[in-house]
Amino acid sequence: MGKSRPEKIAVVAAVRNRLNSSEAAIFTEYRGLTVADLSELRTALRDTGSEYTIYKNRLVSIAAADLGLNLEDFLTGPTAIAFVNLEDGDAAAAAKVLRDFSKQHEDNLLIKGGVFNNTVVASDSVHKMADLPPREILLAQLAGTLAAPLTQMARLLQALPNKFAYALSAFIDKSNTADTAGQKQHS
């Protein structure tokens, strides 16, 4: 017994909203996974700011078409979607969790592809994303790259007064030495 038409319309609207408001959506085929396996995967994905959800392929297809996305290649067989939250999610971390889980459950979980910033990408792009460092590390690297020129400038600016002080001190010492030598000659 299937869902009534208003329920299907609500599901299509919900999927459309999630696709539109997520940082990423990664499509997988979960054939043969146990309930315990799915629960383990959902828990691991939750730690990345993602939610792993199963919808009927036909309803996802309608929602995607409404957004101008062609996801037909991803919507065959039992499909689940990892939606990465825009606010606190990490698409690279979610891709890594899915990739690692698929390695452990080789015949049971297949990464089909994804949608990142409203762009459809193939599974190899999802695997490449899984190789990226976590968001915190990328942000730290970016901050370091941006801060490096400022740090170098601060060191240069700090060195100028120090070098001036050394030069002035050397000049004073030389003047004192010359004055002392001059006074000895007059005596």
Average pLDDT by stretches of 10, the chain with 187 residues: 80 94 93 92 94 95 94 94 88 93 90 91 89 69 70 69 70 69 57
- Which residues lie below 8 Å from residue 75, measured CB to CB, with a gap of 6+? 27, 57, 58, 60, 61
3-state helix, strand, coil in the chain (%, to 5): 60, 15, 20
pLDDT of residue 140: 73
Q: From CA 45, how far away is CA 98, in angstroms rounded?
A: 8
pLDDT of residue 181: 56
The two structure tokens encoding residue 105? 């459950």
Q: Is 54 helix (H, G, I), strand (E, B) or coil?
A: strand
- Which residues lie below 8 Å from residue 116, measured CB to CB, with a gap of 6+? 23, 24, 91, 125, 129
Q: From CA 147, how far away is CA 143, in angstroms rounded?
A: 6
Evaluate whether 92 touches 114 at the Cβ level (below 8 Å). no
pLDDT of residue 137: 67
Beta partners for residue 16, in sequence order:
none
pLDDT of residue 145: 73
The two structure tokens encoding residue 111? 């990464």
Q: Measure Cα distances from 151 to 5, 157, 173, 179 in Å.
A: 62, 10, 33, 42
pLDDT of residue 120: 93
Q: Measure Cα distances from 15 to 11, 82, 143 in Å.
A: 6, 12, 36
Q: Measure Cα distances from 47 to 43, 58, 90, 97, 130 in Å.
A: 7, 29, 9, 10, 15
pTM of the full structure: 0.70
